[in-house]
Amino acid sequence: MKIGIKRFNDEYISNEKKFSVLAFDLGNSRLKCSYFEDSCMKHYGAFRLEEIFVNSKFDSNLLDKWLKENKIDNKVKCFISSVNLTIEKHLLSFLNERLFSAKVIEPRDLVGIIGIEYDIDMIGIDRLLHSIGASLFYGEGVCVVDMGTAITVDLTKENVYKGGFIMPGIDMICKSINLFLPHLPMADITINHTNVPSRNTNDALNNGIFYSIVFGLEGIIRSWHEKFGDFTTVLTGGSARFFESELSWPYFPHLTLWGIYRYAEYKESLNEKSS
């Protein structure tokens, strides 16, 4: 897959240096990997954690295959966003064994790129990086709705991260309903939805979950506009595509990976200045 940067700031256009980076976004459900070259996402891969972490052991086959298929060698600089400490250790060992130079990005590393009004020792790095990624494409007032394992809603205004909300993710909602109400059918939010009172259990459950998310998110964004003025809201994360048609906001699939790219570029510019 190839995605060119749609909107550059002046600094971007002037940066013509050939530049590659290998980015990993390790969440609580999946590991997303991408290889960037010249401001372009050239290769992308995603692996469910059950596929790469089997019986408490890291299974390197799929990742090795992905690196080989895309001819990615260990000279490329490698950056990791991780909110999953258990698998992070294994991913780092995997990369070190193959002689990659890999860095796990910490919230403090980002203070030169984005202002942070949040408890910096606690924040999930993915929330900062997807905000930085969104700013690349949508400007300095952005709200990122990331529908991953959890749903996070994060506001950035004038390049300052203001904080956000953490809500249960879709799988989490469906699985917990199943746990507490095992006599009901397993919910499936991927089916078509209609916002009228449902006439059977399946529809009542699926529409109920779906519209609670839709109207919850719309309500949050509406009230944040009243308090914080203008910003662009954007959807991202593994479950977002099921909501794209109902919510009026653009869907941009890999914002955390783009945030990593932006950070790598920032690091590169610091290295240039110091050399």
Ligand X SMILES: Nc1ncnc2c1ncn2[C@@H]1O[C@H](COP(=O)(O)OP(=O)(O)O)[C@@H](O)[C@H]1O
Ligand Y SMILES: CC(C)(COP(=O)(O)O)[C@@H](O)C(=O)NCCC(=O)O
- Residue ranges binding ligand Y (CB under 6 A): 27-28, 83, 122-124, 126-127, 148-150, 152, 166, 169
Segment interacting with ligand X (CB under 6 A) among 27-35, 90-98, 106-114, 227-235:
27-35
Segment interacting with ligand X (CB under 6 A) among 1-9, 154-162, 168-176, 216-224:
168-176
Is 38 among the catalytic positions?
no
156 binds ligand X (CB under 6 A): no
Segment interacting with K ion (CB under 5 A) among 100-108, 137-145, 148-156, 174-182:
148-156
Question: Which listed residue (3, 21, 23, 27) binds ligand X by CB under 6 A?
Answer: 27
Helix, strand or coil for residue 39? coil
Cβ contacts of 190 within 8 Å, gap of 6 or more: 242
Looking from the CA of 114 toward its CB, the CA atoms found within 13 Å total: 36
Cβ contacts of 196 within 8 Å, gap of 6 or more: none
Query: CA separation (Å) from 8 to 37, 83, 155, 179?
Result: 16, 28, 21, 47
Distance of alpha carbon 68 from alpha carbon 232, whole angstroms? 38
Judge whether 146 is annotated as a binding position: yes
**156, 135 contact by CB (below 8 A):** yes
Question: Which listed residue (37, 88, 109, 171) binds ligand X by CB under 6 A?
Answer: 171
Question: Which listed residue (39, 135, 149, 152) binds ligand X by CB under 6 A?
Answer: 149
152 binds K ion (CB under 5 A): yes
Helix, strand or coil for residue 240? helix
Catalytic entry in 64, 73, 119, 126: 126
Dihedral of the alpha carbons of 170, 175, 179, 181, in degrees to the nearest 10: 60
Question: Which listed residue (107, 148, 238, 253) binds K ion by CB under 5 A?
Answer: 148
Annotated binding residues, written as ranges, equal 25-32, 124-127, 146, 149, 201
Give the footprint of ligand X on this chain (CB under 6 A).
27-30, 148-149, 169-171, 237-239
> Which residues carry out catalysis?
126
